[in-house]
């Protein structure tokens, strides 16, 4: 990725650290100041959503099912025009939705890259309190998240987003069957955010326990069941959640079949996709997706539906 003639790919930001001189001749002893290249964040006018989680934790499944819920039940979801990856975002959305329709799980994310999808979400709720919003979803390989263990550093393509002055929401994903292995790493990630000046009491953060179907159920009896699981398997993370008032939930895409090591979706459920999607929207806007409207709006809606 150090070829200075290589063009920047819209959906991924590789490790291009080459520097181009402004001007220099054979007899010139002046060394010009180089222009930084490679990791400039363009199109900052959006609400960025960063997924954190180790390999095979379920980040891609959560992302694809959230997008499917937003576009099939909550409103219209379309690529944002004028962004570098408009066409690529359209292709990726089509692939996500086709995979879910066929019962296939999405492919794993490529290491050392940030998959970026710039979208516009227009809710079907007609209240002026529930406006359209720009959403930029960021997903990275679980192997890259392992690099911050014991004070390590992220790949520069990820650092560019974490250091940028942009509105960021964080979806922290851990799997039902491996949560006990992720407790320390999740806390190291939260420490990393605080080192970068992000106040966890004011940042949108949610812990998502994915693959809840591995518990034998696709739901919980009550909130105590989830709390007990987090307290037992993620004791340090549980303390951070309680101290900073962070959100938490479980996640499942439904019933899965395992055929010779290949999992396919037998029955698709968007219930938990709805929960996380509504949390994300209300965290950004301040109003729920299903907000009933002001007094006058309710009267107007009632008259229009007669």
DSSP the chain: ---TTPPPPTT--------B-S---TT----PPPBP-S-------SEEEEEE--TTSSHHHHHHHHHHHIIIIIEEEEEPTTSTTHHHHHHHHHHHHHHHHHTBPPPPPPTT-EEEEEEEEEES---TTS--EEEEEEEE-HHHHGGGGGG----HHHHHHHHSSS-EEEEEEEETTTHHHHHHHHHHHHHHHHHTT--TTTSEEEEEEE-GGGGT-SS-SSHHHHHHHHHHH-HHHHHHHHHHT-EEEE---EEEEEETTEEEEEEE--HHHHHHHHHHHHHHHSS-TT----HHHHHHHHHHT-
**Residue 177 predicted with pLDDT over 90:** yes
Please check whether residue 200 is in contact with residue 193, taking contact to mean a CB–CB distance below 8 angstroms.
yes
Band of residue 172 on the pLDDT scale cut at 50, 70, 90: very high
How many CA atoms lie within 13 Å of 71's alpha carbon, on the beta-carbon side?
Answer: 17
Domain range 47-285, its CATH number among 2.30.30.110, 3.40.50.2300, 3.40.50.300, 3.40.50.720: 3.40.50.300
pLDDT of residue 257: 85
pLDDT of residue 278: 97
Band of residue 245 on the pLDDT scale cut at 50, 70, 90: very high
**Residue 149 predicted with pLDDT over 90:** no
**Residue 47 predicted with pLDDT over 60:** yes
Each residue's pLDDT tens digit, 283-293: 999 999 999 87
pLDDT (average), residues 179-207: 92
């Amino acid at each position: 990725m150090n070829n200075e003639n290589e063009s920047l790919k819209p959906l991924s930001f590789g490790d291009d650290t080459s520097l181009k001189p402004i001007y220099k001749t054979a007899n010139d002893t002046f060394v010009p100041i180089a222009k930084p290249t490679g990791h400039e964040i363009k199109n900052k006018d959006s609400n960025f959503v960063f997924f954190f989680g180790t390999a095979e934790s379920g980040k891609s499944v959560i992302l694809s099912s959230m997008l499917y819920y937003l576009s099939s039940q909550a409103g219209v979801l379309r690529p944002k025009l004028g962004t570098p990856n408009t066409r690529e975002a359209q292709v990726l959305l089509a692939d996500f939705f086709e995979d879910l329709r066929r019962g296939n799980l999405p492919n794993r994310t490529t290491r050392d890259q940030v998959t970026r999808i710039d979208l516009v979400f227009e809710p079907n709720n007609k209240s002026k309190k529930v406006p359209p919003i720009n959403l930029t979803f960021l997903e990275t390989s679980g192997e890259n998240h392992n690099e911050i263990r014991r004070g390590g550093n992220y790949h520069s393509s990820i650092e560019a987003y974490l250091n940028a002055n942009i509105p960021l929401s964080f979806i922290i994903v851990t799997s039902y069957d491996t949560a006990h292995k992720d407790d320390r790493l999740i806390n190291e990630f939260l420490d990393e955010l605080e080192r970068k000046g992000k106040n966890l009491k004011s940042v949108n953060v949610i812990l998502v326990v994915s693959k809840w179907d591995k518990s034998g159920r696709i739901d919980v009896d009550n909130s105590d069941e989830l709390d007990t699981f987090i307290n037992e398997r993620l004791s340090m993370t549980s303390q951070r959640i309680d101290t900073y008032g962070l959100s938490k939930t479980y996640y499942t895409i439904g019933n899965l079949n395992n055929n010779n090591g290949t999992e396919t979706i037998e029955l698709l459920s968007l219930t938990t996709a709805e929960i996380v999607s509504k949390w994300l929207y209300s965290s950004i806007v301040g109003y729920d997706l299903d907000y009933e409207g002001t007094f006058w709006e309710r009267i107007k809606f009632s008259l229009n539906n007669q």
